[in-house]
A and B are shown apart, each in its own frame.
Chain A
Amino acid sequence: MKCKLMSLGLAALLPLAAAAQPNFSGKTVTIIVGYKAGGGYDATARLLARHLPKHIPGKPTVIVQNMPGANSIIAANHIYNVAKPDGLTIGTFNRNLPIAQLTKVEGVKFDITKFQWVGSAANESTILAIRTDLPYKTFDELRKAKQTVVIGSTGPGANTHDFPLLLKELLGLNFKIVSGYSSSADIMLAVERKEVDGRAGSYTSLRPFIDRGLVRPIVRARSTEPGIDKLPADEDAAPNARAKAIMALRSAPEQVARPYVLPPATPAEIVKVMRDAFAKAIQDPELDAEGKKAKLDLEYLPGDQAQKILVQVLQQPQDIVAEFSKYIKFGE
């Protein structure tokens, strides 16, 4: 008798439970990418789009749409202001948008901390690498260099530019930064030509050249991964707390390297479903295998942690922000 009552009670609760859990069956989830097709953000999104459906209740279709423009400020504005908070639109955009907000760039119509954060799909480590035939083998040797070392960059706002710039301005390294190259691949060509002596960039993108013996990694930013963890970090060489804070500020977004967000008003249950789906998808061995093939190294950082990091970025004291803005401009 008790069992029957209990099972009846449970049966009565079931539809309630099902109603509470958002179900996406028959729907289409759109991931909006703030860049054109073909780049890293786009490739990551498409990889996720292929594997997310089986981890979202209802197995919806997941598609990718590109909304390039203004280094993805347009896409971020759209997700923040226009997209409906029903869980059917996810946005991914430039990891440096917090810097855009911090340095009060014209046209920013969002508050990065108020998005509903699904999380980050990757972590990026930035390193500086210089040509192997140069006599400097360690960071200390480079710091004592008498001859100017020429570093190629694409332009302000990119880590190819900002990372060496801070090394030069805050740590006093003897660099000449030559910017204007159209892509980091062009800079590598310039390295081969001995037109420039090195470049900064993500470890992933520099790895083939390091393995080939063209360049040697010298120093890294805060984020680390196996292979470069023995390298000295820029912050450790900072002469004072302010310099350290500025370098930390520059590298903070790199921990949220592939940001994924939902519109601010999205209900909590939907956010949770998406976070779980992302976490499971990124751990999915099939996705891992495909990602390895495409040299996309995915690593899930939960939304609340990502949000915390970015809240810290935006809460920096004014004087640090002022000095930071002297060196770093939002660009790529």
Chain B
Amino acid sequence: MSEALLEGLVLVLQWKALAFMMLGIVLGFWVGLLPGLGGATTLALMLPFIYNMQPVEAFAFLLGMHAVTATTGDITSVLFGVPGEAASAATILDGHAMAKNGEAGRALGAVLASSLVGALVGAAALALAVPVVRPLVLTFGSPELFMLAIVGLAFIASLSSHGGRGLVRGFLAGLLGLLVSTVGQDPQAGVARYTFDSLYLWQGLDLVPILVGIFAIPEIIELAARGTSIAGSLPAGRISRGALEGVKDTFRHFWLTIRCSLIGTFIGIMPGLGGSVAQWMAYGHAAQSARTAEERKRFGAGDVRGVLGPGAANNSKEGGSLIPTVAFGVPGSTAMAILLGGFVLLGLVPGPDMLSKHLSVTYSMVWTIVLANVVTVVVCFLFLDQLARLTGVRGSILIPLILVLVFVGSYTSNNHYGDMVATLAFGAIGYLMVLAGWPRAPFVLGLVLGKIAENYLYISIARYEAAWLTRPVVLVLIVIAIAVIIYPLFQARRKAAHA
């Protein structure tokens, strides 16, 4: 294995592969920044260009491009409250709040450092998991995946306020998200659910327009309402100085960052769960690390841990989702599905061969992820000052530009006007939810996990009838789900006992 590791590194360090990786990074930088211009679409557009490349060069290009989007997507989330990628939405909650407190530099530093840590963990997982990955993925069947979705939903409890009222609202939002996820044609009976005869709603509501609406629009409204710049009335000088502080934060909360990276990697490995889930579970987990109710309240108001968690998770999931793609030919996300197309083009057959005969190509992918992320983070740090200073620009200048991003981004998800309507509608809903004190994170969690939970439940019952409930991993996951729900209650009670 170590020879293959070294071989993979040597393959990547050839100048052609490096050049292509740089090109990929430059492209991916902008793709990640712009919402709606998904990493997936661009990967698809770039595929034709790799016809005549060698495998290592092609993957340096494709992966270089893709690995970067997870990092730069976080940048627009922090600075403008607009999710550059669906997987960067959770970073908005505390990241943008920090920007509004004049701590944009610190938030960016934290996001970049945690993204790097996450990417390294994900890459390491890909490298180390090679011997165990097949049995691992094969153990997680449909019942286990259903329970994982339940565990994900259990994090709603962590994403809600403490207390009975807080939990009611949290689950209210979560159930609403689950309900919205049922819109569309169901895969069991083929019934068109809640589509109101609209062709647009037939395949269900798309995630990106909703995310952009529910998170970005209230921020834009608030920016207009305050009439100031994003960073409020704080002096410009202070804004950019915090980058190093952000990096230090990553190491101050090192174990949290690592744990969230592991969550991201694990979710990435599970095919079918989708990449958007990881960030919310990581955020929920980070919120659990708050030891008192006051600390808990600061989440959402600009606690750096709320940036570290999702920042790490959405990068580590990339390395994680390469595992089922490479080892089984089952893509962990749309982007991976396209990458698979690239495999086919280059004559590589995903499956046991990639873990034995072509192991060095697999490891070259690992190194590409590592190098691409390091380069991106270094470049971003160079521009960090300028980036952070954007939060000092007058709101009236930024608003039209951000709105153009929002509308174009939402439209280009499906090239359909309906997406913009969805963005506006959920923008209004998001604004009202914030006014009413309803948390939005559980809504997104429900939306993302709904289809997965439903499909895997039906498959589990159809295949195993009642027996699926007694499978060992399922039982373990039930316990974990209960633990995740009870933990915040347990914390509150402990604090009350100490008070």
Contact = CB atoms under 8 A, between A and B. Distances in A.
Direct contact of A and B (CB under 8 A): yes
A185 B44 contact: no
Nearest to B414: A68
Interface in A101-159: 106-107, 150, 152, 154-157
6 contacts: A67-B415, A155-B188, A179-B458, A179-B462, A185-B340, A329-B190
Interface residues of A, number: 51
A262 to B, nearest CB: 20
Nearest to B328: A189
A284 interface: no
A38 B200 contact: no
Given A66-B415, A181-B455, 19 more contacts: A36-B40, A38-B41, A38-B44, A38-B338, A69-B202, A70-B203, A73-B199, A152-B459, A180-B456, A183-B330, A185-B271, A185-B340, A188-B329, A190-B141, A195-B459, A195-B463, A208-B329, A294-B51, A331-B190
Given A67-B415, A157-B190, A179-B188, A192 B138 contact: yes
Contacts of A70: 199-200, 202-203
Nearest to A212: B351
B23 interface: no
Contact of A193 (B41, B48, B141, B192): B141
Interface in B271-302: 271-272
Contacts of A156: 187, 189-190
Contacts of A47: 48
Interface in B293-334: 324, 328-331, 334
B200 A154 contact: no
A38 B463 contact: no
A192 B40 contact: no
Contact of A155 (B44, B190, B199): B190
Contacts of A27: none
Interface of A: 36-38, 42-43, 46-47, 50, 65-71, 73-74, 77, 106-107, 150, 152, 154-157, 176, 178-183, 185-186, 188-190, 192-193, 195-196, 208, 212, 290, 293-295, 329-331
B187 A180 contact: yes
Interface residues of B, number: 55
B202 to A, nearest CB: 4
A190 B142 contact: yes
A327 to B, nearest CB: 11
Nearest to B329: A185
Interface in B322-378: 324, 328-331, 334, 337-338, 340-341, 344-347, 349, 351-352
Nearest to B462: A178
Given A71-B203, A180-B187, A190-B141, A294 B351 contact: no
Contact of A189 (B330, B418, B455): B330
Contacts of B202: 69-71, 73, 107
B455 A69 contact: no
A186 B332 CA distance: 10
B435 interface: no
A71 to B, nearest CB: 7
A176 B338 contact: no
A68 B459 CA distance: 27
Contacts of B51: 290, 293-294
Contacts of B456: 180
Contacts of A43: 47, 341
Interface in B35-63: 40-41, 43-45, 47-48, 51
B41 A37 contact: yes
Interface of B: 40-41, 43-45, 47-48, 51, 137-138, 141-142, 185-190, 192, 197, 199-200, 202-203, 271-272, 324, 328-331, 334, 337-338, 340-341, 344-347, 349, 351-352, 414-416, 418, 452, 454-456, 458-459, 462-463
Given A156-B187, A192-B328, A42 B271 contact: no
A90 B334 CA distance: 26
A38 B190 contact: no
Contacts of B414: 36, 66, 68-69
A183 B188 CA distance: 14
B253 to A, nearest CB: 35
Interchain residue pairs A-B with the least CB separation, the first 6: A155-B187, A37-B44, A180-B455, A329-B190, A156-B190, A70-B199
Nearest to A177: B462
Contact of B271 (A36, A68, A186, A195): A186
Contacts of B452: 182
B343 to A, nearest CB: 10
Given A188-B330, A192-B138, A195-B141, A107 B459 contact: no
B38 to A, nearest CB: 9
A125 to B, nearest CB: 18
Nearest to A158: B187
B271 A38 contact: no
A74 B199 contact: yes
Given A190-B141, A331-B185, A37 B40 contact: yes
Contacts of A69: 199-200, 202-203, 414, 416, 418
A264 to B, nearest CB: 20
A193 B138 contact: yes
Contacts of B197: 106-107
A188 B351 CA distance: 11
Contacts of B40: 36-38
A330 B341 CA distance: 27
B142 A195 contact: yes
A38 B337 contact: yes
A305 to B, nearest CB: 29
Contacts of B455: 180-182
B45 A189 contact: no
Given A157-B190, A208-B329, A294-B341, A65 B415 contact: yes
Nearest to B43: A38
Given A65-B415, A329-B190, A293 B347 contact: yes
